[in-house]
Amino acid sequence: MSARLPNTTTVSFTMHSEGTGVCQDIKLEGSAHVIHVDAAPAFGGKDRHPSPLAYGLGALLSCSQVTAQQVAKDLGIELRSFEFDLTADLDTAILVGGAMEGNPNFQNVGINAIVDTDAPDDVFSKFYLETERRCPMTQLFSRSGASIKYRWSKRADNALT
């Protein structure tokens, strides 16, 4: 039997959570950051912090931007700034109503991404397709059955509109 070699491309995360009701504080081991979570009053919260759903959608946008920077580096292009607008639908029939059928996942996730870059159009197309392919959160949402539709454009493309 051979010894198992460590996977040098895997990053592990360890978190600890404490809370009461729907409020929660989540700490990532090795980090000073704490994620504070609450919910809207309709869900028993006081709306003092973002909900888990808001964090999930925010993570999708943030991960898209972080992944975009890595892809841009690999393609040798410069990205100066980003704007993202997101819309998403969530059928709460299962979450709130306890329905036995349906999909408790986000549906119809639409992301309008505007990037300030001078990348040529052909490189920009490669850039955003590769960003979607490599983004862990995009893949998490997509593979869970959520329909995600990105619309990528360059800042210069929007300057006249």
Helix (H, G, I), strand (E, B) or coil at 99: coil
Of the options 3.30.300.20, 2.40.50.100, 3.30.70.141, 3.10.150.10, the CATH number for the domain spanning 52-158: 3.30.300.20
| Phi and psi based region of residue 13 (left: phi greater than 0; alpha: psi -120 to 50; beta: remaining) | beta
Domain ranges of the chain: 14-50, 52-158
* pLDDT higher than threshold 50 for residue 91: yes
* pLDDT tens profile 64-76: 999 999 999 999 9
pLDDT, residue 161, reads 36
Taking the chain, what is the end-to-end CA distance rounded to the nearest angstrom?
A: 64
Span 41-55, average pLDDT: 94
Percentage of the chain exceeding pLDDT 70: 93
Per-residue pLDDT tens for 81-90?
A: 999 999 999 9
- Determine if residue 159 is left, alpha or beta; phi over 0 gives left, psi from -120 to 50 gives alpha, anything else beta: alpha
Q: pLDDT tens-digit profile of 122-139?
A: 999 999 999 999 999 999
Beta-strand relationship, 79-90 and 34-37: unpaired
